[in-house]
Amino acid sequence: MKNLTTICFLSILIIISGCIFINHSEMTSTSGNTSWYYPDWIMNSPYAPSFKVLDTESSLGPYAEKTKIITLEDLVKMHGHLCDGLVTAACGLSFGLEELYPDGIIDRTDTCCITNNSPCFGDVAAYLTGGRIRFGTQKIDPNMGNEFIVYRISTQQAIKVSLKDGVFPEALAWLEKKVKSGNFTIEQMRECQRLGWEFAKNIINRPLEKSFVVKKIRGFSWEPDSYIHEGSRGDVINKNVMQKTFHK
């Protein structure tokens, strides 16, 4: 009887283990592609920008000795999804930041940004520049369109990068307005999504100067928007204490 009980117990364990293995295999087969949010057409684009950024090395520490690389995939993870707004912002800011940082290293302790109030533009600009509303280094201007203003604090230089006229498809603009109104069909929403991705593909598969224009803003003065909880950034107050610049 004791042996029979042992055999039954072992059989139950084997059955349970088999069920767990099957469930795990099913999960792996459906979710094994961990980059499902990052399609091949953007991964393999010859003009997909990446960004070399400089930060401090700790909450109260000096400049880090090395830079970091931010990719479009990083931006998608931060923002939550891939969309034409994210691609437009990343490509436009890549083009514009070259003017402020000709050495190719974006100092995220030294940069401010202004965008419209879209989730895409504001998120990407804040992530790439280090600008934040609560520290007075990010501003939102609802009247801005497909454009960005970026300001470098130490040099007092400002640039405006804009999408060229005629680049944004009229059909996409109409559908976006339709979907935002709440009066739309599922087919229209899907078509808006498809056209948005097609637009993103066009932007990211040709030289950026064909889509964007950059202008210097003479005499620009940075004035933070008022914010009741505005404070100072503790992680940049000692950034120059080591008096070294590594930029590797």
**Residue 64 CB: number of other CB atoms within 10 A?**
17
pTM of the predicted model as reported, rounded to 2 decimal places: 0.83
Q: Which of 208, 210, 176 is nearest to 191 (CA)?
A: 176
High-pLDDT (> 70) share of the chain, %: 85
**Residue 89 CB: number of other CB atoms within 10 A?**
26
Residues of the chain with pLDDT under 50: 2, 4, 6-31
Share the mean pLDDT of the chain. 87
Give the pairing type, strands 111-115 and 138-140.
Answer: parallel
58-86 tens-digit pLDDT:
999 899 999 999 999 999 999 999 999 99
In this structure, what token pair is assigned to residue 229?
């909880």
82-125 tens-digit pLDDT:
999 999 999 999 999 999 999 999 999 999 999 999 999 999 99
How far is 78 from 53, CA to CA, in rounded Å?
16
In this structure, what token pair is assigned to residue 36?
């499902």
Give the right CATH number for 40-164+209-216 from 3.40.50.800, 3.30.1330.20, 3.90.79.10, 3.10.150.10.
3.30.1330.20
